[in-house]
Chain A
């Protein structure tokens, strides 16, 4: 490895060193606050080093990684989301019984896996990053090992994720058989369109799509989502909905653009069918849902459907719109899960509509934060979600895929119903029954106010971020 290689890997180094330091520290003496501090420090350092790395890109490290503006931007989104999730989990994890420090070790390694996915340029690094992420998630999901639901969710995710990894690996193998290389750019060099895809190759790409579709919870492979989101501890649900999907989405976009998937009409039909099904089915399943964690799970399915539409546009502007959408979706989702998790304790999880009913009359600020997140997810004007949806639909219209645009609009309208139902539940008067919520920790309050401010600020004044995206990010 050369010095430049190491300079380019500096943003992910804190994510790898952090777990080791915490591990040694735990072996000497367990201290929750110190562990939490080191985790925050590692993530902040990682985030700061991204700016330090910018002058050295684009740069590729051996065959495995490529570090360009695209991966750095995704790295930024991933580390920022992880940071917010660490902030909102402080109070909830602190009150758990049993050992708690492992949570932060595994959260950091999961973030490392997602960060590696954002830089992956080869099947080897792709798969290793994905496995680091998945194995960390198995543990995080069943972290409350005394709770039956949590363990059940962990086992479900373990079995299904292992099966989907097998699909992915088999697909990679078949693609390798045809091309004899595992690097994305060399694959791209050998695929000159229009090319006739042999059945073997089509099967290979199809199996990879199954594997990726599972991780992103696209529609035929979405069935695990509600159970896992419900069973996992609330901050972990936020993590699955954001960081893990961000990493997989980054590698999906990079791979799909490397092989120019949008130019092939078979892929075009398959992806648009998946996108339409994902957008609509996610919504229909959410409509009658009374459990907020499951509802947000379905909402994440729908939003992933929105983002993969962009794969079909196949130009730089589409990628920029999808990254913007992803960022806003992450922030809003973390806000929603964050409110639920600062209200929850180990014995009394706040997760149904009934639990948040009348929240405004008891905790007005938290209810406001939840409202902002919900409105942003629904895409109402003055919130960042509106700009994100507008930008995405604008690019789709420009690319002339009007049928998909129609589905996107219809899906947005349907989604309004269930997001607003949560808001009305929070603002309605309840009976006299007393609900006690735990006190809000400082870090939770900080994260939630940051999220609310960002949602409002980007909703009114999004220009600078979009300009930054246009200036830097492309594939």
Chain B
């Protein structure tokens, strides 16, 4: 049991270090996906399969796709030659090795752990939903406010105001 956790933990740390060590944003994101997967495996090993699924759906699925879209839109001009250079095996071999290690870790874990392994029991979606809509309801509402602040703040800092005067009349 502990061994599986340590393997997933080591993969998480390695891939996260690689995220910040990469020069190319897309390659960093590749490692970030591996990092999220390894965290999902850790959640699974801690008897929280629902959170593990959420981690993959939300982080690896939605957020990273968003990141990749933005990064790709920022460098629109991509020459074919450059693309060739970026896709060298060196770039994708290590993430794949890490992912394979993680996959084997998960497969062996599924077959060897008597379920559930922690005395608190498995956290199922129903438990989470009940907790969120009864005793933690105020927390959900505060999170809504938190997201609202984020949206308004991003809008304010990112917005560009319309120019009223022609640039000919602008002062230096």
List chain A positions with a Cβ less than 8 A from chain B.
Answer: 1, 9, 16, 19-20, 23, 61-65, 97-99, 102, 105-106, 109-110, 112, 116, 124-125, 128-129, 131-132, 135-136, 138-139, 142-143, 145
A129 x B136 contact (CB < 8 A): no
Question: Which residues B9-56 have CB closer than 8 A to chain A?
Answer: none
List chain B positions with a Cβ less than 8 A from chain A.
Answer: 134-139, 141-143, 145-146, 148-150, 152-153, 155-157, 159, 161
CB-CB under 8 A for A99 and B159, given A106-B152, A139-B149: yes
Residues of A within 8 A of B138 (CB): 1, 9, 61-62, 64-65, 125
Residues of B within 8 A of A23 (CB): 148, 152
Residues of B within 8 A of A139 (CB): 149, 152-153, 156-157
Tell me, rounded to whole Å, the shortest Cβ–Cβ distance linking A379 to chain B: 37
CB-CB under 8 A for A109 and B135, given A135-B153, A145-B157: no
Complex: how many Å from CA A5 to CA B18?
A: 48
A16 x B145 contact (CB < 8 A): yes
- Quick one: closest B residue to A127, CB to CB? B139
Residues of A within 8 A of B135 (CB): 62-64
A135 x B149 contact (CB < 8 A): yes
B152 x A132 contact (CB < 8 A): no
Tell me, rounded to whole Å, the shortest Cβ–Cβ distance linking B154 to chain A: 8
Residues of A within 8 A of B153 (CB): 102, 106, 135-136, 138-139
Tell me, rounded to whole Å, the shortest Cβ–Cβ distance linking A366 to chain B: 30
Residues of B within 8 A of A64 (CB): 135-136, 138-139
Interchain pairs with CB closer than 8 A, number: 75
Closest 4 CB pairs of A and B: A139-B153, A62-B135, A102-B156, A128-B142
Complex: how many Å from CA A62 to CA B137?
A: 9
Select A125's contact among B142, B150, B161, beta carbons within 8 Å. B142
A106 x B149 contact (CB < 8 A): yes
Residues of B within 8 A of A135 (CB): 146, 149-150, 153
Complex: how many Å from CA A414 to CA B137?
A: 49
Complex: how many Å from CA A262 to CA B159?
A: 49
Complex: how many Å from CA A19 to CA B142?
A: 13
Complex: how many Å from CA A138 to CA B136?
A: 27
B142 x A129 contact (CB < 8 A): yes
B156 x A143 contact (CB < 8 A): yes
Complex: how many Å from CA A264 to CA B29?
A: 45
Residues of B within 8 A of A1 (CB): 137-138
Residues of B within 8 A of A20 (CB): 148
Residues of B within 8 A of A9 (CB): 138
Residues of B within 8 A of A125 (CB): 138-139, 142
Given contacts A125-B138, A128-B143, A138-B153, 11 further A-B contacts (CB under 8 A): A16-B141, A23-B148, A62-B134, A62-B136, A62-B138, A109-B148, A109-B149, A128-B142, A128-B146, A132-B145, A139-B157
Complex: how many Å from CA A465 to CA B137?
A: 36
Pairs A–B under 8 Å by Cβ, sample size 11: A9-B138, A62-B134, A62-B137, A99-B161, A105-B152, A110-B149, A125-B142, A128-B139, A131-B146, A132-B149, A138-B153
Tell me, rounded to whole Å, the shortest Cβ–Cβ distance linking A247 to chain B: 13
Complex: how many Å from CA A317 to CA B74?
A: 59
- Quick one: closest A residue to B157, CB to CB? A145
A124 x B136 contact (CB < 8 A): yes
B139 x A99 contact (CB < 8 A): no
- Quick one: closest A residue to B140, CB to CB? A128
Complex: how many Å from CA A109 to CA B136?
A: 20
Residues of B within 8 A of A143 (CB): 156
Residues of A within 8 A of B149 (CB): 106, 109-110, 132, 135-136, 139
Tell me, rounded to whole Å, the shortest Cβ–Cβ distance linking A106 to chain B: 6
- Quick one: closest B residue to A151, CB to CB? B157
- Quick one: closest A residue to B159, CB to CB? A99
Tell me, rounded to whole Å, the shortest Cβ–Cβ distance linking A314 to chain B: 30
Tell me, rounded to whole Å, the shortest Cβ–Cβ distance linking A97 to chain B: 8
Residues of A within 8 A of B161 (CB): 97-99
CB-CB under 8 A for A116 and B142, given A1-B137, A62-B136, A64-B135: yes
Tell me, rounded to whole Å, the shortest Cβ–Cβ distance linking B101 to chain A: 25
Tell me, rounded to whole Å, the shortest Cβ–Cβ distance linking A151 to chain B: 8
Complex: how many Å from CA A120 to CA B93?
A: 48
Tell me, rounded to whole Å, the shortest Cβ–Cβ distance linking A439 to chain B: 24
B148 x A142 contact (CB < 8 A): no
Complex: how many Å from CA A385 to CA B143?
A: 38
Residues of A within 8 A of B141 (CB): 16
Tell me, rounded to whole Å, the shortest Cβ–Cβ distance linking B135 to chain A: 4
Q: Which residue, B137, B145, B146, B150, has most C-beta atoms of chain A within 10 A? A: B145
Residues of A within 8 A of B159 (CB): 99
- Quick one: closest A residue to B161, CB to CB? A98
Residues of B within 8 A of A112 (CB): 145
- Quick one: closest A residue to B139, CB to CB? A124
Complex: how many Å from CA A460 to CA B152?
A: 45
Tell me, rounded to whole Å, the shortest Cβ–Cβ distance linking A244 to chain B: 14
